Structure 1
């Protein structure tokens, strides 16, 4: 593995030696492609493009993120920003790589979560856009445009993660392949949106299974929190260490989102088909703003346990806001003809 890691460090050195404007580009890409964006931006937008597509985006996103945590716990992948110091291979010939003011990831590095989760969750959206393009155009270029954009996005995200020393290239490749495979495999297996009991049981199952696995690995003598200590030791700025990069934060986000789907499935919704396109656009914009506001208004405690609890509650409220509250609000303001019916 040292050969792969060393090659990855040199590749990151080449990327970081590029022109200054590229630095801003890579930092913007890695920030925008944070897995949180799947839950707070991509899901609301996709939901008001097509309800089933939106639910599929969120479902695949939470399943792939939970699997990413499990993979990381078992694969023990290093991260470049600490491995370059821990390996001791560059003491005589130092390399010109440095960290950037982005969160120092505290979980293991393999596979890349940015690539795996984003790639998996966006697959149903890209498929839907491809089908839409095929209905409105006979041009091959237009039909292939969504998947071309998807491929370029994954490539940009992967390079940005290597640039900020969050991942080695082989971890990025693994994340891209795993994400595409999960997106393709899970798209046709999205649960029905009228099954609140299933989503509630899924929420409980994701949470309890992750806790049980964590405890079992500790009981077996595995130092499962090794990456947190290394990240704390080698992060260039303590302010860059954040709870939201810890693996269990992802578990709480996934379990909370599954519960949010259960709450949304159990809530009556007006028929969106009776709303004009601009009403649906208003729903999408209001939903993104509401979810963003929810995350800004609710405080983030300094205690780890309270942080996990707050994250769970915020992500549980998000799907309910998007799928239940916002459509009813916009539907009421739009005042369509006739009496509303529930889906």
Structure 2
């Protein structure tokens, strides 16, 4: 593995030695592909395009993120920003690398969560857009455009993760392959009942706590990556609670709970214009929700974060569509899909 890691470090060096203007591009790509965006951006947009697709995006996103956390706990993947120092490579050879505010993630590194979760969650959206293109045109180019865009996006995400020293290339490749496979496999198995989502939320939360306790009981240091990240991050302010594995579990369980508790959706009553207004309002409200209340205490942060992600699906599927329906009803008569 040392040879594979060393090759990855050299590849990261080559990327960072590229044109300076690319730095902002790679950082923007890795930020936009953050798994949080599946819940706060991709889900609302997909939901108002098609309810089934939106629910599928959220469902596959939370399942793939939970699986990613479990895989990381058992694969013990290193991250370049700490491995280059812990391995002694930086003291033996000349290594020219920089860290960035998004570099210091605290969970283990394998497989890449950005690639795996984004790749899985976007699969139903890509297939829906492909079906839409196929229904409207016989052009092969138009039909392939969604999947070409999907592949290029994952390639860019993977390169961005290597650039910022969050992952080695082999972790990126495994994340992309696992994500595409999960998206393809889970798309046809999206639950339709609210009770199932509530049960899933409890199972994810309790199952993870049980697994965490069992692993600790066996003597495995499951929090080793947090200590290494804290030790090797060049700026303590770059360490974030939301990169911890348990933060992902809270997000997944909360989103499932929020979707399960949401009232019956009024989506079929919305006109295309009202759907667009609902999507825009949902993006604004959810982004605002996640900009407030960031407690310094870790326990309070987890509780606050859980509540935010539980509220999100309820806002998207129930409250905001009803609000738009009420405010815009005079614009035109609602129709049935």
Aligned residue runs from structure 1 range 9-88, under 5 A: 9-88=9-88
> What is the CA-CA distance between 1:269 and the residue it aligns to?
2.9
Q: Please report the RMSD computed on the Cα atoms of aligned residues, expressed in angstroms.
A: 1.5
> What is the CA-CA distance between 1:303 and the residue it aligns to?
1.6
Does the aligned pair in 2 maintain the 1:103–1:245 contact within 8 Å? no
> What is the CA-CA distance between 1:338 and the residue it aligns to?
7.2
Q: Is 2:283 aligned against 1:285?
A: no
Determine the C-alpha separation between the residues in 2 that align with 1:246 and 1:80: 17
Determine the C-alpha separation between the residues in 2 that align with 1:197 and 1:340: 29
Does the aligned pair in 2 maintain the 1:103–1:242 contact within 8 Å? no
What is aligned with 1:309?
303
Q: Structure 1 unaligned runs (5+)?
A: none
What is aligned with 1:319?
313
Determine the C-alpha separation between the residues in 1 that align with 2:274 and 2:327: 10
* Aligned with residue 275 of structure 1, among 250, 262, 270: 270
Distance 1:339-1:227 versus aligned 2 partners, 3 A rule: closer
Determine the C-alpha separation between the residues in 1 that align with 2:67 and 2:214: 17
Q: Structure 2 unaligned runs (5+)?
A: none
Kindly provide the CA deviation profile for residues 294-333 of structure 1, in whole angstroms up to 9, marking residues without a partner as x.
Answer: 1123x12112221111111110000000000011001111
Total equivalences in the alignment: 336
Distance 1:274-1:91 versus aligned 2 partners, 3 A rule: same
> What is the CA-CA distance between 1:340 and the residue it aligns to?
9.4
- SS of the residue corresponding to residue 101 of structure 1 reads coil
- SS of the residue corresponding to residue 21 of structure 2 reads helix
TM-score between both structures, scaled by the size of structure 1: 0.95
- SS of the residue corresponding to residue 335 of structure 1 reads helix
Distance 1:151-1:339 versus aligned 2 partners, 3 A rule: closer
Does the aligned pair in 2 maintain the 1:260–1:319 contact within 8 Å? yes
Q: Is 2:205 aligned against 1:207?
A: yes
What is aligned with 2:136?
136
- SS of the residue corresponding to residue 23 of structure 2 reads helix
- SS of the residue corresponding to residue 292 of structure 1 reads helix
Does the aligned pair in 1 maintain the 2:269–2:334 contact within 8 Å? no
* Aligned with residue 335 of structure 1, among 329, 332, 335: 329
- SS of the residue corresponding to residue 91 of structure 2 reads coil
What is aligned with 1:241?
239
Q: Is 2:298 aligned against 1:300?
A: no
Which shows bigger deviation, 288-297 or 109-118? 288-297
Distance 1:338-1:160 versus aligned 2 partners, 3 A rule: closer
What is aligned with 1:223?
221
Determine the C-alpha separation between the residues in 1 that align with 2:321 and 2:334: 15
Kindly provide the CA deviation profile for residues 218-243 of structure 1, in whole angstroms up to 9, marking residues without a partner as x.
Answer: 11000000000000000010000010
Distance 1:224-1:75 versus aligned 2 partners, 3 A rule: same
Does the aligned pair in 1 maintain the 2:40–2:312 contact within 8 Å? yes
- SS of the residue corresponding to residue 213 of structure 1 reads helix
Which shows bigger deviation, 96-105 or 58-67? 96-105
Determine the C-alpha separation between the residues in 1 that align with 2:58 and 2:5: 33
